[in-house]
Amino acid sequence: MGGRLVLFAAAACLLAAGSAAVEVYPFEPFGAIDPLANGIHFELTGYSANTLFVTTVEGFHAYDFATGVWTDHTHPGSIGMTRTAVLKLFGLPDRFVLGGVNAFFKGTLWYSDDGGATQFLTRESTGGAVTDLAQRHSLVDPLIYACTWSDVVPGELLRSLDHGLTWIPVTGHGHHVMTAVAVVADDEVYVAGDNYVTRTFDHGATWENLQANLPAGEGLYCLLVHEPVTTVPKQQSRDAVDQPIWADYLMVANDSGVYVCVDPSAVHWQRVLPHACRAFAARFVSSGSLRDLTLYYDENWAVTFDGRLLYCEDRNWDDWLDVTALIAPAVPIDVTEGYDGVYVLTRDHGVYRSDGGVPPWTSTPDLPPPLSLVAAPNPFNPRTTVSFTLPQAGLADVSVYDLAGRRLATLAREHLTAGLHTRVWDGIGPDGRALPSGAYLLRLQAGGEVTGKKLSLVR
């Protein structure tokens, strides 16, 4: 893990009353720099198959955690290749389902069985751009939902029962435009849009409106449905004797701020943040024992429409910190949780990654942060940004070597302060010429410690 940064309430612009210090691991560049990017999504399909997606107006980028490589599936200059949502199916890890919008402002749904290299159109929606895709995380369940948004015609809610090959319209939800959909179980689906939040327990035969005390006349920008961790399989009855460890909750955002419903069975909304947000994410953190309620908490992350990144570390949602400075000068536009941290998509600066908040039971503020070294993008062409963290001030040497051990470039050899530093390597050798494609070694030495990374230059 990277070094820790302690944010105190007064110094970090505490948005609500509070006094405790909060520890947050620093953010590091993670690649996928694309000024046309419009969204980010993490898909948990098994530890070795997890994928991070960045959608753009010309396609999408995918990061494979098994190989540590970004794959570019954009088509510069092409019309109608805008992608707005991507799923990697839990039951078919080779299947991608993609949503977008074409040159005629109609929503498009596609599938791919080769990682996105070849994409097949399965439906052209009359309801505008695809705004969200959702699946049930089951090895045998082929159920997928898609929702769309149009300023001219009513949006469509669509359901696929065959892993995205064909789509069926679902009606009766009451929305004209939809922004988000969430699938909790085969028969439990939530949809957000101009008709607030609606819910069905019977595949869309009947719908329940969950507006309750939400402000009238304000549609919803985003929706988060937090599923319970249960001690029995979800396929069993929801009335099973063995109850969830904690209850479901819903989180939505509108012009008035962010609202939470902690008990969806008795709908009442509590405003937990008085700022309009375009995206948020919640990440469960545990010490390893889900049954010990003292050893878990939620990380909550939000991106506001005015370009701020906010963080809250508990289930009470009462102490929000403005942590935008951790990614400065980048401006956040989207955020998603991952199994190993949090990922923030920024305008013009690509993706930033952090290990997230430091759990209270692991806090050791008296220890210096470890030496860390990251290069992104990697593989790269023609340049990569090298980020490194020093536990204490002192002499630091950051250099690039070939596989024979010859020094090719010195990025830093100087006294530096403790904390995060960045350098850029443009793939130029000691003679001032561009180096050929191949593998190189990045090495950091500071404070008697040495760490390194393998770099891949692709011309």
| Residue range 384-412, pLDDT digits in tens | 999 888 888 889 999 998 877 788 999 99
pLDDT for 146 equals 95
Q: Identify the pLDDT of residue 140.
A: 63
DSSP-assigned letter for residue 258: E
Give burial (CB, 10 Å; 0-12/13-18/19+) of 65.
Answer: middle
Taking only the tens place, the pLDDT of each residue in 87-143 is 888 767 788 999 999 888 889 999 999 888 899 999 998 888 999 999 876 656 788
Decide: helix, strand or coil at residue 252. strand
User: What pLDDT does 7 receive?
Assistant: 39
Asked if pLDDT for residue 365 goes beyond 90, the answer is: no
Q: Which one is predicted more confidently, 410 or 22?
A: 410
State the chain's mean pLDDT as an integer: 80
Cα of first residue to Cα of last residue in the chain, in angstroms, is: 31
**Closest to 255 in 3D by CA, of 184, 145, 321, 179:** 179
Distance, in Å, from the CA atom of 308 to the CA atom of 352, rounded to the nearest integer, reads: 14
Q: Cα torsion for 340, 133, 214, 315, to the nearest 10°?
A: -10
Q: Average the pLDDT over 341-359 and give the result.
A: 85
Query: Is the domain of 234 the same as that of 253?
Result: yes
Specify the pLDDT at position 12.
36
pLDDT at 21 over 60: no
Mark whether 387 and 331 lie in a shared domain. no
Residue 437 has pLDDT above 70, yes or no: yes
pLDDT reading at 55 higher than 80: yes
User: Residue 238 has what pLDDT?
Assistant: 36
Last residue of a domain, one of 302, 335, 362: 362
Question: Residue 292 pLDDT more than 50?
Answer: no
Does residue 206 form part of some domain?
yes
Q: Is residue 104 part of a domain?
A: yes
The 10s digit of each residue's pLDDT in 252-282 is: 998 888 999 888 778 899 999 988 899 988 8
Q: Clarify whether residues 185 and 217 are in a common domain.
A: yes
CATH of the domain at 450: 2.60.40.4070
Asked whether the bond before 379 is cis by omega within 30 degrees of 0, the reply is yes
User: Are residues 351 and 376 both part of a single domain?
Assistant: no
In a domain, residue 367? The reply is: no
Residue 145: partners with Cβ closer than 8 Å, 6 or more residues away = 133, 134, 135, 157, 158, 159, 160, 170, 181, 183, 189
Nearest to 438 by CA among 380, 389, 399: 380
Which tokens is 415 given? 């006294």
Domain boundary among 309, 337, 362: 362
Per-residue burial over 308-336, b = 16 or more CB atoms within 10 Å of its CB, e = otherwise: bbbbbbbbebebbbbbbebbeebbbbbbb
Q: What is the pLDDT of residues 226-241, one digit of tens each?
A: 765 443 333 333 333 3
Cα 240 to Cα 233: distance, rounded to the nearest angstrom: 10
Residues 333 and 436 in one domain: no
Both 310 and 406 in one domain: the answer is no
Domain that holds residue 88: 5-362
Residues 243 and 331 in one domain: yes
Same domain, yes or no, for 173 and 87?
yes
**Total count of domains within the chain:** 2
Strand 37-43, strand 28-31: pairing = unpaired
Cα distance between residue 408 and residue 367, in whole Å:
34
Residues 202 and 285 in one domain: yes
State both tokens at 216. Answer: 């009238």
Domain membership flag for residue 154: yes
- Confidence bin at 248 (pLDDT 50/70/90): low
pLDDT at site 299: 82
Q: Report percent pLDDT > 70 for the chain.
A: 81
| 339 assigned to some structural domain | yes
Among 342, 362, 382, identify where a domain stops: 362
pLDDT in tens, 180-227: 999 887 678 999 999 899 999 888 999 999 999 998 888 888 888 876
* Strand-strand pairing, 407-416 and 419-425: unpaired
**403 is a domain residue:** yes
As a whole number, mean pLDDT of residues 425-450 equals 88
Q: Are residues 83 and 184 in the same domain?
A: yes
Comparing 451 with 178, the larger pLDDT belongs to 178
341 and 393 inside one domain:
no
Range from 68-77, 219-228, 292-301, 441-450 carrying the lowest mean pLDDT: 292-301
Instruction: Please report the pLDDT score of residue 362 as a whole number.
Output: 42
User: What pLDDT score was predicted for residue 237?
Assistant: 36
Task: List the helix and strand counts (H, then E) for the chain.
Answer: 0, 37
CA distance 87 to 181: 13
Query: Which CATH number characterizes residue 154's domain?
Result: 2.130.10.10
Q: What is the pLDDT of residues 57-80, one digit of tens each?
A: 889 998 888 788 899 988 887 777
What pLDDT is attached to residue 333?
A: 93
Give the strand pairing for 188-193 and 208-209: unpaired
Residues 100, 25 share a domain: yes
Beta bridge partners of 434: 428
385 domain-assigned: yes
The answer to whether 285 touches 356, Cβ cutoff 8 Å, is: yes
β-pairing, 51-56 vs 37-43, is antiparallel
Cβ atoms 301, 343 nearer than 8 A: no
Burial class (CB in 10 A: 0-12, 13-18, 19+), 81: buried
Specify the 3-state DSSP secondary structure of 49. Answer: helix
Q: Is the dihedral of CA 263, 264, 265, 270 positive or negative?
A: positive
Select the more confidently predicted residue: 228 or 449: 449
In angstroms and rounded to an integer, the radius of gyration of the C-alpha atoms of the chain is 23
Sheet holding 449-457, edge to edge: 407-416, 394-401, 438-446, 449-457
